[in-house]
Amino acid sequence: MRTILILLIFFKLFFADYCGTDQVAIGMEVHISGVARLLCGKPNCFDKNYSECPERAESRKGCKKENEWIGGFDATIDGKLYTMCCEFENLKDFVKPKYKEVRIRRGEYFEGEEKQNDDGDVTSFDVIKDIQTYRDDSGNPYYNLTVYNFNCVPLAEQTPKWVLKTHWPYFKK
């Protein structure tokens, strides 16, 4: 039983091109060869939350809208990037910008930080909001990540909007 648990925890983080609707992009690696991969994870405070993703990575301009973040990409070795922008409802209420630009070049790696309380519950985690690709002076592509910090506390305390509205005195005309 213990072994299974450890394996599950270990495999919660994995490299992929897509993190999809039920995982979040918490890191990125660019191999020496130029192959870029996302590090996906599912922080335990995010267990029951999902984002909505399009079927394909089709944005050429990154993920700019305030309620969207990176859910995946198609990156060619010569540095063309198509991003999949997933929408998380009210994302802006849960996040704060953390790093404006984290540059990842070949052979480099970024992994966001996760904070936990004494019970082992995740209270906040870093997530990749956007990725832009550029070229250095020698023509080698590199990636600049915009990183947000997602605060789980409002998620746990969130009351559905309809409850607030139907409770006196909020519902008054």
Ligand X SMILES: *[C@@H]1O[C@H](CO)[C@@H](O)[C@H](O)[C@H]1NC(C)=O
Sign of the dihedral through C-alpha 14, 19, 20, 21? positive
The single residue among 12, 64, 90, 111 that binds ligand X, judged by CB under 6 A, is 90
**Residue closer to ligand X (CB basis): 56 or 60:** 60
Q: How far is the CB of 90 from ligand X (least distance, A)?
A: 5
CA atoms of 139 and 63, how far apart (whole Å): 24
Q: Is 101 in the site for ligand X (CB under 6 A)?
A: yes
66 or 101, CB closer to ligand X?
Answer: 101
> Smallest distance, Å, CB 15 to ligand X?
22
- Under a CB-based contact definition with an 8 Å cutoff, are residues 83 and 66 in contact? no
Neighbours of 106 (CB within 10 A): 15
Residues sharing a CB contact under 8 Å with residue 173, sequence separation 6 or more, in sequence order = none
Number of residues that bind ligand X (CB under 6 A): 10
From 89, 111, 113, 136, residue interacting with ligand X (rule: CB under 6 A): 89
* 2-41 binders of ligand X (CB under 6 A): none
**Residues 41-80 contacting ligand X, CB under 6 A:** 48-49
Q: Among residue numbers 143 through 172, which ones bind ligand X (CB under 6 A)?
A: 144, 155, 158
Characterize the bridge pairing of strands 122-135 and 141-151: antiparallel
Can the peptide bond before residue 169 be classed as cis, meaning omega within 30 degrees of 0? yes
What's the min distance (Å) between Cβ of 120 and ligand X? Answer: 18
Q: Which is nearer to ligand X, 14 or 134 (CB)?
A: 134
Distance between CA atoms of 146 and 68, rounded to whole angstroms? 12
Alpha-carbon distance of 143 to 123, in angstroms, equals: 28
Binding site for ligand X (CB under 6 A): 48-49, 89-90, 101, 103, 134, 144, 155, 158
